[in-house]
């Protein structure tokens, strides 16, 4: 087992694969776009799930399970909804050697599976709000190069689907969920995100509007969509006939016209793990946030030499077990690495690859002085060591883990902020992208302009690099990431609104643009 043999800065995609493999987060599978989540990454997803599940239940959401399969007729229920996605649908065509009469789709998302039952179950306004969620996996047969966690053909996620009597009530919930998504990133994964609304071009076409949390990957300077909470308006309730009687209807006439319910749908996937790894990892491997990592502290015996007597070694190991108990008593997830035949240095490297936030070295010196030698994984080696008195362990270690969590977030936030720049002159845009920035443009929010910006930024990248765009690789064209809720100060009059010299529209809002995943 050797370390990472490429640098994050010079060969990012190779670095990412090695960090995940050598950090024991996943293993590869013979079907392209599919990966095995090993316990280290499953633990992260389980922590995210427990945290989110508790909070959506407080909002009155219930979990349920709908079938994995969607009949062809049901999936194609509304051409409009599916047309742009047809190429991504995976189909079952045989049972054994018997060809099926009609092929069956594997769910890519569950609107068409669930909403016929919403129409059946929702009769009166007293059945509202209906709030159901599924923790499941879905399949999308992506064409672009797969990337572990970020773009996979099967992925685990949650998909929430709610129905409300009024637009206002739906709108309130859209934002409650978006806030929870932002909290997952910022509080659990130590990843800063920007909240905003998707433009008409980038929103979920079947919906009314899309809100999103947008992350930023410093190593590539690319934005990344972290999770989406859509208001579907009445689009799907009109498609599927989900109606209730108007509770305020007075006359028989009014009673007859049914109200179409207002719906939301919201999803967050195991993509969160990839974002966390890409942001915090370094050339020694994973760097894991204490809040979600399976093992927060590892205790490694040091100074155990061949000339040490067995009883001295046993005594030292016994002391280490005692230290573990002290930490377990304050809910620290701690292990000791007593493997024989491996040097301390080998063990240090192994746990650094796994991104274990804190290593405690304990040998005869520490034992005599009643302290441990602590090493923080998130700091450069030379700055990472400190001595902690054994009597302080039960308060100092939890505090130190909390400090590591906060420092990881603060460093990532500083990088995001310093690489988000306001552009007021078109000629500054592409150079800013090439400097690994995401850009705030005063944008007219028209789709035509977005297309223009995307294609001219892609073209100038090709001209500069001389390399044609690989259709399966992430695009070099910049796209709109979101219209941040937190808008910079007012729109400057007279400035080319959307960075598109040919645009003569009025600037409507500051819009975040960037190359993305």
List contacts with ligand 86U (CB under 6 A).
Answer: 82, 85, 88-89, 108-109, 140, 159, 204, 228, 230, 265-267
DSSP code for 149: T
Q: Is the bond leading into 91 cis (omega within 30 degrees of zero)? A: no
Provide DSSP, 25-67: SEEE-SSTT-EEE-HHHHHHHHHHHHHHHHHHHHTT-EE----
CA 3 and chain centroid, separation: 26
- Which residue lies nearer to ligand 86U by CB, 78 or 407? 78
Q: How far is the CB of 89 from ligand 86U (least distance, A)?
A: 5
Q: How far is the CB of 198 from ligand 86U (least distance, A)?
A: 11
Q: How far is the CB of 386 from ligand 86U (least distance, A)?
A: 44
Q: How far is the CB of 108 from ligand 86U (least distance, A)?
A: 3
Q: How far is the CB of 144 from ligand 86U (least distance, A)?
A: 13
- Which residue lies nearer to ligand 86U by CB, 193 or 372? 193
Helix (H) or strand (E) holding 180: helix 167-183
Nearest Cα to 112, choosing from 145, 151, 71, 141?
71
- Which residue lies nearer to ligand 86U by CB, 224 or 476? 224
Reduced to 3 states (helix: H, G, I; strand: E, B; else coil), residue 479 is strand
- Which residue lies nearer to ligand 86U by CB, 74 or 219? 74
- Which residue lies nearer to ligand 86U by CB, 22 or 230? 230
Nearest Cα to 240, choosing from 255, 254, 258, 252?
258
Q: How far is the CB of 271 from ligand 86U (least distance, A)?
A: 12
Give per-residue burial for 382-420: e unless 16+ CB within 10 Å, then b.
Answer: eeeeeebebeebeebbbebbeebbeebbebbbebbeebb
Q: How far is the CB of 87 from ligand 86U (least distance, A)?
A: 8
Count CB neighbours of 468 within 10 A: 7
Name every residue whose Cβ is closer than 8 Å to that of residue 295 and which is 6 or more positions away in sequence. Answer: 333, 334, 335, 354, 356
Both ends of the chain: CA-CA distance in Å? 31
Position with the least CB separation from ligand 86U: 267
Q: How far is the CB of 204 from ligand 86U (least distance, A)?
A: 5
Nearest Cα to 495, choosing from 505, 482, 485?
505
Length of the chain: 517
Pairing of strands 297-301, 334-336: parallel
- Which residue lies nearer to ligand 86U by CB, 108 or 357? 108
Distance separating alpha carbons of residues 112 and 206, to the nearest angstrom: 12
Q: How far is the CB of 164 from ligand 86U (least distance, A)?
A: 16
- Which residue lies nearer to ligand 86U by CB, 12 or 91? 91
- Which residue lies nearer to ligand 86U by CB, 182 or 388? 182
Contact between 112 and 77 under an 8 Å Cβ cutoff? The reply is yes
Nearest Cα to 130, choosing from 176, 163, 160?
163
Q: How far is the CB of 261 from ligand 86U (least distance, A)?
A: 16
Distance separating alpha carbons of residues 91 and 88, to the nearest angstrom: 10
Q: How far is the CB of 36 from ligand 86U (least distance, A)?
A: 23
- Which residue lies nearer to ligand 86U by CB, 106 or 390? 106
**Helical packing angle, 271-280 and 12-22, nearest 10°:** 110
Q: How far is the CB of 266 from ligand 86U (least distance, A)?
A: 6
- Which residue lies nearer to ligand 86U by CB, 77 or 436? 77
- Which tokens sit at 185? 């990133």
- Which residue lies nearer to ligand 86U by CB, 122 or 231? 231
- Which residue lies nearer to ligand 86U by CB, 263 or 475? 263
Distance separating alpha carbons of residues 150 and 270, to the nearest angstrom: 8
- Which residue lies nearer to ligand 86U by CB, 115 or 371? 115
Contact between 227 and 215 under an 8 Å Cβ cutoff? The reply is no
Distance separating alpha carbons of residues 462 and 471, to the nearest angstrom: 13
Q: How far is the CB of 178 from ligand 86U (least distance, A)?
A: 12
């Amino acid at each position: 087992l050797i370390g990472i043999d490429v640098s994050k800065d010079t060969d990012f995609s190779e670095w990412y694969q090695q960090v995940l493999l050598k950090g024991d987060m996943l293993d590869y599978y013979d079907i392209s776009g599919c990966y095995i989540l090993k316990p280290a990454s499953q633990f992260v997803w389980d922590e995210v799930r427990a945290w989110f599940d508790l909070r959506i239940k407080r909002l009155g959401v219930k979990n349920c399970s709908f079938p994995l399969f969607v009949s062809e007729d049901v999936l194609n229920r509304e051409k409009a909804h599916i047309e742009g996605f047809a190429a991504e649908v995976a189909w079952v065509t045989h049972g054994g050697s018997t060809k099926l009469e009609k092929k069956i789709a594997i769910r890519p998302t569950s609107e068409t599976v669930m909403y016929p039952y919403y129409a059946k179950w929702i009769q009166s306004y007293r059945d509202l709000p209906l709030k159901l969620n599924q923790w499941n996996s879905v399949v999308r047969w992506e064409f672009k190069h797969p990337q572990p966690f970020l773009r996979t053909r099967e992925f685990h996620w949650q998909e929430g689907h709610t129905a409300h009597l009024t637009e206002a009530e739906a709108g309130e919930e859209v934002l409650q969920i978006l806030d929870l998504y932002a909290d997952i990133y910022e509080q659990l994964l130590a990843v800063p995100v920007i909240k905003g609304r998707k433009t008409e071009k980038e929103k979920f076409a079947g919906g009314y509007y899309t809100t999103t949390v947008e992350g930023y990957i410093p190593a590539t300077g690319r934005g990344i969509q972290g999770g989406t909470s859509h208001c579907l308006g009445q689009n799907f309730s009109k498609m599927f006939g989900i109606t209730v009687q108007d509770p305020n209807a007075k006359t028989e006439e009014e009673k007859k016209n049914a109200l179409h319910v207002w719906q939301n749908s919201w999803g967050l996937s195991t993509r969160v793990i990839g974002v966390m790894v890409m942001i915090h990892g370094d050339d020694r491997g994973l760097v894991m946030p204490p809040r979600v990592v399976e093992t927060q502290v590892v205790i490694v015996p040091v100074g155990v030499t061949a000339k040490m007597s067995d009883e001295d070694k046993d005594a030292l190991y016994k002391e280490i077990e005692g230290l573990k108990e002290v930490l377990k008593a304050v809910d620290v997830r701690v292990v000791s690495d007593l493997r024989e035949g491996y040097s301390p240095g080998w063990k240090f490297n192994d746990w650094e690859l796994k991104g274990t936030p804190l290593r405690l070295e304990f040998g005869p010196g520490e034992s005599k002085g009643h302290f441990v030698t602590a090493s923080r994984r998130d700091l450069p080696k030379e700055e990472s060591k400190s001595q902690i008195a054994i009597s302080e362990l039960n308060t100092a270690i939890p505090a130190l883990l909390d400090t590591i969590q906060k420092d990881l977030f603060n460093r990532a936030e500083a990088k995001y902020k310093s690489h988000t720049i306001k552009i007021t002159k078109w000629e500054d845009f592409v150079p800013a992208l090439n400097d690994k920035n995401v850009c705030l443009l005063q944008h007219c929010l028209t789709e035509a302009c977005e297309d223009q910006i995307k294609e001219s930024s892609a073209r100038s990248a090709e001209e500069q690099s001389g390399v044609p765009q690989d259709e399966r690789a992430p695009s070099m064209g910049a796209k709109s990431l979101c219209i941040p809720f937190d808008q910079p100060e007012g729109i400057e009059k007279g400035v080319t609104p959307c960075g598109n010299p040919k645009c003569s529209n009025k600037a409507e809002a500051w819009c975040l643009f960037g190359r993305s995943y």
